Chain A
């Protein structure tokens, strides 16, 4: 949990989460509207990788090595979330590598 939740505000917890959700939505809309169309594919690919944040939840679900439904589902979730995260970031990096500034084209080649 990001913020400490004391007993006193436990009853409000759901509403706090809802507030966080809405604020984050607004921030997201604000941020994305400024990205140029040129970068829309890498952007989408990157946010796609970010949606793999659910891996955090999947780790919790798969923390015990027991053959019950919870852990098996958690295990599958870990696999899928990892595909999302690893594949997403790697493919984004691969795409962004191709966008070169004119002057740097030579240098990049040299580095590779």
Chain B
């Protein structure tokens, strides 16, 4: 096995390195990227084969088992993961790589120490020397497990590998939602970090300079590994969701560096080279990402951004609005409560012992589920002493199957209340009694931490009576003007509210859709008028899984001849290029994805910007020099420069940065709050309907040849698609007369030639050449399809199957399916000069014929073309 000549091994390794580098170079362009990836995989395969040939004894059972297990897990993950879950999958794979590097180094350490122990058992131990000077004098190899250089790189490899592993696992859990995506700030984490780092340095130093006896050295290295795992966890925990692109890039760099360090340990040049390539790549990406977020790496690692809400001056009217509404309303009974809940966006429920007594928990949860279905945000504020045992309310709510993430503790609740529209207090009294916080009163409650429900915009109290609670202290909250008192059995009250919400819910749904009618129809109208539309996708689009619906909408808009592009902010989403992947999944042509600078050049020319689930990346506050916010100076997508803006976000709350978005209050902005998926669908169906009407109104005016002539007169870019029908009608000369005439009018005329148009390869080219058409005007398939979106009028002359858009419709299974076609349907208007409107050779009906923008001129093509030319005013 081991008898490969040296030069072959060196050459093979060199080849692998070259292939890895070429693979990276091929990432520069989309068309070569996929093959670059494959080349890289081949390089990896070569490297593995070469490693196997160097074995002296070959007992591959562990290797075979390991590779099988790893392949199954890796491939299963790779093929099963949804595109939206890509960041966490990449993080997991990355963690596995870092972990492997750590394990390899530890394994090497065990091997070396086992060898040394064997030697020590044989040798005369007196001859061994133990002081630093002796080691230096005698030479490391005679006494220590390994050289100092190897010891240092082993420590680095274990440290970086372990941080990569545990950090990636935490990042995975955050992205997967297993733990909160918000920054988690453990108390004293800085102290723990510092202490761990110190211990690692000390142990590492000791291990380096006293590399024997082996056993304590091994223990020291394992402690370094364990502490490094802890460091990884503590590093990623305080980092919030939107900073994930930076973290994932950084972990990517780490996994490469860990591999490079392992290369030092094993004295393997391949590992060093390839590992540092990855390390460099990850570092560059990290820099790009943190630049795009306008944060220093240190700032992100220290974490904690996204905790507090920073108010921007212009936001005050918005905040005041619901309040005044709530105050003006007559606050009587259930209808008022129903009304308040309908308008509310953020609802907090405060359960108390009264809920337990009334056995109302299931009814409460039914109500809150209903509210959530309406797109409202509902959480529960649980006071530590609510009820009769620690965590009593938690148990009751868990019984009613409330997601435990919705149960807020005291501090979290009190942060929530000022942002809350409606607080529902159900059978609780003392725990929400503001008298506890009033320093002027001396009551049994004074100083007790309470749920500060009084800070919410309005309050609904569902208690049995208005009497004081257990403490005997009157509750001033009950007299607050913004409080609605619904006294009586909580069960009955809640049921009443829910049925109140549900019944007029039909009405309210109508109401809501009316209110939205201000929204969606206005958006539809704006889009109908628009010519240039830019879509700004954000993480919200990923969450709502709305990318396919968005692309359906944009495809529809493009069919209407509008220009639609996507503006992708470098840090939109949760990893570098996240939005690009999602849009690619939905089959958006990548040429339509604009980068930051391109987008900002585009916006001033844009009629409508659609923002879908993005906030911070379009927040103009970032550019306002008078404001000092976490966003200040961050490069943003300047959507505010467009003529009008449609925002399809879940809510109007600030994004991850906590900075209110003044764009939302811009008079040219249409806010369509709620689930983006639903909103986009509504817009599309709104666009579809009047489209039919428009087509109907257009139809009568389309009096055949005059309207075709009219269309040609206005057109600037015309493409002619010739087919076998032209050959049959011998119309090519007449066609050329027409196109020459059009060109004399200053119009640009080209011919789109499908490779199989006609009855032999290049049939149409021959016919057109015969009619003396310059061959430079004959476009091939790809060129033609690039041309159509810019084309004003496409003239189809005796062609059918080669322009049949059914070929591209994945939902249809026809003989044409998958055939590359001339996408004439992308042009602004289509004129069909065919003998009849029957399907072509394939027998597949052509939906293009029914397109509202198509003018059908049936009959002999020769005559039709002649008539068009005359209608245009050309004499013979």
Contacts and interface: CB of A to CB of B under 8 A. Distances in A.
In terms of DSSP, what is the predominant structure of the interface of chain B? helix
Interface in B7-51: 10, 13-14, 17, 20-21, 23-25, 27-31, 33-34, 36-38, 40-41, 44, 47-48, 51
Interface in B756-789: 781-783, 785-786
B106 interface: yes
Interface string A53-72: 11111111111110011110
Contacts of B288: 37, 40
Contact of B576 (A4, A44, A70): A44
B47 to A, nearest CB: 5
Contact of A41 (B48, B59, B578, B587): B578
A14 B279 CA distance: 19
A89 B43 CA distance: 12
Given A39-B27, A40-B285, A41-B578, A2 B93 contact: no
Contacts of A35: 27-28
A102 B86 CA distance: 24
Contact of B581 (A13, A41, A69, A90): A41
B20 A50 contact: yes
Nearest to B165: A80
B436 to A, nearest CB: 52
B768 to A, nearest CB: 21
A83 B577 contact: no
Given A48-B255, A54-B271, A25 B279 contact: yes
Interface stretch (B64-72, B362-370, B663-671, B843-851): B64-72
User: Which range holds the interface residue count of chain A?
Assistant: 35 or more
B101 A2 contact: no
B144 interface: no
A36 B593 CA distance: 11
B178 interface: no
Contacts of B280: 24-29, 31-32
Contacts of B89: 87, 91
A13 to B, nearest CB: 7
B260 A52 contact: no
Contacts of A85: 44, 70, 74
B97 interface: yes
Given A21-B272, A81-B70, A44 B249 contact: yes
Given A17-B267, A53-B270, A79-B66, A4 B10 contact: yes
Contacts of A51: 94, 97-98, 252, 255-256, 258-259, 274-275, 278
Interface centre among A34, A55, A76 (most CB of B within 10 A): A55
A24 B70 CA distance: 28
Interface residues of B, number: 134
Contacts of B264: 14, 17, 21
Interface in B79-117: 79, 81, 83, 86, 89-90, 92-94, 96-101, 103-104, 106-108, 110-111, 114
B577 to A, nearest CB: 3
Contact of A47 (B33, B268, B281, B589): B281
B568 interface: yes
Contacts of B593: 38
Contacts of B783: 103
A88 B54 CA distance: 26
Interface stretch (B515-523, B640-648, B814-822, B855-863): B814-822
26 contacts: A17-B269, A24-B273, A28-B281, A32-B280, A37-B580, A40-B285, A42-B577, A44-B281, A45-B86, A48-B90, A50-B20, A50-B44, A52-B259, A53-B259, A53-B275, A56-B270, A61-B111, A73-B103, A79-B66, A80-B100, A81-B100, A84-B94, A87-B78, A89-B41, A94-B79, A110-B819
Given A24-B260, A51-B258, 19 more contacts: A1-B10, A20-B273, A21-B264, A25-B276, A38-B30, A38-B577, A43-B285, A51-B98, A51-B275, A61-B103, A69-B107, A79-B66, A89-B40, A96-B34, A97-B34, A98-B584, A98-B585, A101-B589, A102-B782
